[in-house]
Amino acid sequence: MGPFRLVGAPKARRAEQIYRVARELEACDAVIVGAGAGLSTSAGLTYTGERFHRWFGDFIEKYGFADMYSSGFYPFNTFEEHWAYWSRYIYCNRYDLAPARVYTDLLNLVRGRDYFVLTTNVDHQFQLAGFDKQRLFYTQGDYGLWQCSEPCHEKTYDNEATVRAMLEAQGYVPGPDGRLTLPSGTLPRMEVPSELVPHCPVCGKPMSMNLRADATFVEDEGWHAAAARWNDFQRRHRGMRVLYLELGVGWNTPGIIKLPFWQAISGNERATYVCINQGEAVAPAQIERQAVLIDGDIGAVLSQVKSLLV
């Protein structure tokens, strides 16, 4: 596209913009969802505040942690304490359902349509909400997977059973619905048994999270299969009436979703770009005619769109 000048969301046309999103959803040949952290934030997966204190109050008291994310980089003295922290982190962000219905509402909007989801989120909420796994590409990893920290081989490992065992060893118990909670009035232990600390089954080195943080990130067979499906989806819909629905994508990794979306839309006059983002709904002036920019809470906007399609 070359150099671009950004334009923002119109302040006085919210109802008109939401109506246009509904009409584009009804008329498009396909929907491509680009999802960033803002989508999960809207769904209630916050890394600060009450939720952070509920899950990590003991760690906050001991270390003065300020938020869930940055605290994950703390150099704990033992693997037993490291995995006590990370098992809670994984469970509440990967195996527990998001508090709000945002992902479910999004699924209801694309259900029955030809869609694909490209996301930098690693919390698995799309699949928990019922999205088709074959239509998802998690580019940056998955909280539910471990890999060799070296890594000595290109394979990942499901961690759910071990993570649940780690939480139960800290004092969490499963309720009637299977969700793990801490009994009222009890304090969790801040370490896990040594036998639960994960090690690579091939070389014996410590396991690490399958998250794209540096050059050690493992792109396993499943990752490459999803990438191939994503590339095929783009190829099959080139030049068609495609709705690019960008939700909560920031500027940490714009080269994965935001910039490719802009590039694709600039080359397809039949495409529409919808950006819903709190405080960051922008688009290049070059595609302004094709853009619907809504500055607001994603969950609230999707709920309004859904009400127009009933």
pLDDT score, position 2? 56
pLDDT of residue 1: 59
Residue 4 confidence (pLDDT): 61
CA 239/CA 269 separation, integer angstroms? 8
> DSSP for 49-111?
HHHHHHHHHHHHHHH----HHHHTT---SSHHHHHHHHHHHHIIIIISPPSSSHHHHHHHHHT
Overall fold of domain 6-42+99-141+220-309: Rossmann fold (3.40.50)
Q: Measuring CA to CA, which residue among 27, 35, 31 is closest to residue 242?
A: 31
pTM for the whole thing?
0.94
306: left (phi over 0), alpha (psi -120 to 50) or beta: alpha
Q: What is the pLDDT of residue 3?
A: 58
pLDDT at 7: 77
Domain with CATH 3.40.50.1220 in the chain: 6-42+99-141+220-309
Could you read off the pLDDT of 179-201 as tens digits, one per residue? 999 999 999 999 999 999 999 99
| Percent helix, strand and coil across the chain, each to the nearest 5 | 40, 20, 40
Q: Are 150 and 214 in contact (CB under 8 A)?
A: no
> Which residues of the chain are modeled with pLDDT < 50?
none
d(CA 22, CA 206): 49
